[in-house]
């Protein structure tokens, strides 16, 4: 028996969420007095690195293309699992519930803590779009945790790291006909810094300075809902209660009023900076740092200051 962790790769490369998943499994395994088994794709480069985060056994398999097929493959391992960990990436958010249904597991998604107890497994999770924190017991069979990336952190430790391959059948009920991932851009859900702008920017032609700031900071760009509704920016940048929920280390909000629905999707960010002309903008109440000022003056200055700072580093 062990804690099984599904480790996702992106074009054969692990990302932070991959390592964070192993770290999560390691913390849980220590509490449960058991080992960590990592399952990853045969195509993943250097699976042995997972030992650095606590993987004792690393199993590689030829993964199905769809979440459902992958869930079936993981379900084949369920009998050996004390618990299962999956990062709440877009793929993981589809795999985890399918797995829970197939393996008759008890699942917590949107999880933001490691287990505080293991009998039964008890974790915290976000509810009501970050307006509440729920403590949940996985009291049924096989506990499965899908956690919010960047909520737990990565811990380096040492695992045995024996790599072997294994085989399990998964059926894809859909054919993937096309896949497009914007290259050279930081994907919003995994960004450590997010630069976000709202209707205060007046028009799509004014986003160059936002993109420039994002480039300097290695950040992803985001926007408020009305900005995507009027087509100034793509829907995939819409953050908030009805858009993408983010929890970066730094969220910079420019010309966004801070409506309750916007805050619901961004308030889990560790540090929030607000730039707004209106001292009364509700966003200042949710911010750590604020500049009362015109975005058209402040942002170009901020680009220069950040560029100078980065050059010194």
Q: Which residues bind ligand FAD (CB under 6 A)?
A: 198-200, 224-227, 240-243, 255-257, 259, 261-262, 265, 275-278, 281, 294-296
Is the CB of 52 or the CB of 282 nearer to another protein? 282
Q: Pick between residue 55 and residue 268 the one whose CB is nearest to another protein.
A: 268
CB of 40 to another protein, least distance (A): 17
Count of residues of this chain found to bind another protein when the rule CB under 8 A is applied: 97
Q: How far is the CB of 197 from ligand FAD (least distance, A)?
A: 8
Q: Identify what 277 binds: another protein, ligand FAD, none; CB under 5 to 8 Å per kind.
A: ligand FAD
When CB distances to ligand FAD are compared, the closest residue is 240
Question: Rule CB under 8 A: which of 108-147 touch another protein?
Answer: 108-110, 120, 122, 125-141
90, 156, 202, 204: residue in contact with another protein (rule CB under 8 A): 90
Give the whole-angstrom CA distance, residue 223 versus residue 197. 5
Contact between 43 and another protein (CB under 8 A)? no
CA–CA distance, 56 with 36 (Å, rounded to integer): 5
Paired tokens of 262: 């916007």
Min dist CB 154 to another protein, Å, is: 16
- Residues 179-213, buried b or exposed e (16+ Cβ, 10 A)? eeeeeeebebbbbbbbbbbbbbbeeeebbebbebb
Nearer to ligand FAD, 143 or 243 (CB): 243
> Cα–chain-centroid distance for residue 260?
22
Q: Could you count the other beta carbons within 10 Å of the beta carbon of residue 218?
A: 11
Residue 94 interacting with another protein (CB under 8 A): yes
Say which entry of another protein, ligand FAD, none residue 66 contacts (CB below 5 to 8 A, set by partner kind): another protein
CB contact at 8 A, 33 and 117: no
DSSP code string of 42-73 = TTSS-GGGGGGGT-SEEEEE---SSHHHHHHH
**Residue 76 contacts which entry, ligand FAD, another protein, none (Cβ below 5-8 A, type-dependent):** none
Strand 132-138 and strand 121-127: the pairing is: antiparallel
Alpha carbon distances (Å) from 119 to 83, 85, 113, 177: 12, 17, 16, 44
By a kind-dependent CB cut-off of 5 to 8 A, residue 196 interacts, out of another protein, ligand FAD, none, with none
């Amino acid at each position: 028996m062990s804690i099984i962790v599904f480790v996702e790769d992106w074009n054969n490369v692990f990302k932070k969420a991959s390592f964070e998943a192993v770290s999560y499994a390691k913390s849980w395994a220590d509490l449960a007095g058991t080992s960590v088994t990592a399952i990853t794709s045969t195509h993943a480069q250097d699976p042995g690195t997972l030992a650095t985060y606590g993987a004792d056994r690393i199993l590689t398999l030829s993964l199905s293309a769809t979440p459902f097929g992958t869930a079936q493959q993981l379900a084949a391992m369920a009998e050996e699992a004390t618990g299962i960990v999956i990062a709440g990436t877009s793929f993981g958010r589809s795999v985890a519930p399918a797995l829970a249904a197939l393996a008759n597991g008890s699942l917590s998604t949107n999880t933001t803590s490691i287990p505080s107890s293991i009998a039964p497994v008890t974790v915290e999770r976000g509810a009501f779009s970050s307006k509440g924190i729920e403590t949940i017991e996985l009291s049924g069979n096989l506990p499965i945790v899908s956690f919010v990336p960047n909520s737990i952190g990565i811990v380096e430790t040492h695992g045995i790291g024996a790599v072997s391959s294994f085989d399990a059948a998964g059926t894809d009920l859909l054919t993937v006909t096309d896949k497009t991932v914007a290259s050279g851009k930081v994907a919003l859900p995994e960004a450590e810094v997010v630069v976000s702008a709202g209707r205060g920017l007046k028009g799509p032609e004014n986003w160059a300075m936002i993109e420039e700031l994002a480039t300097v900071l290695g950040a992803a760009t985001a926007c408020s809902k009305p900005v995507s509704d009027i087509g100034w920016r793509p829907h995939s940048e819409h953050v908030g209660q009805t858009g993408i929920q983010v929890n970066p280390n730094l969220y910079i909000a420019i010309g966004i009023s801070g409506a309750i629905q916007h805050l619901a999707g961004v308030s889990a960010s560790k540090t929030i900076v607000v730039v707004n002309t209106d001292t009364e903008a509700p966003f200042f109440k949710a911010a750590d740092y604020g500049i009362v000022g015109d975005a058209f003056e402040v942002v170009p200055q901020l680009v220069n200051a950040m560029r100078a700072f980065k050059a010194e580093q």
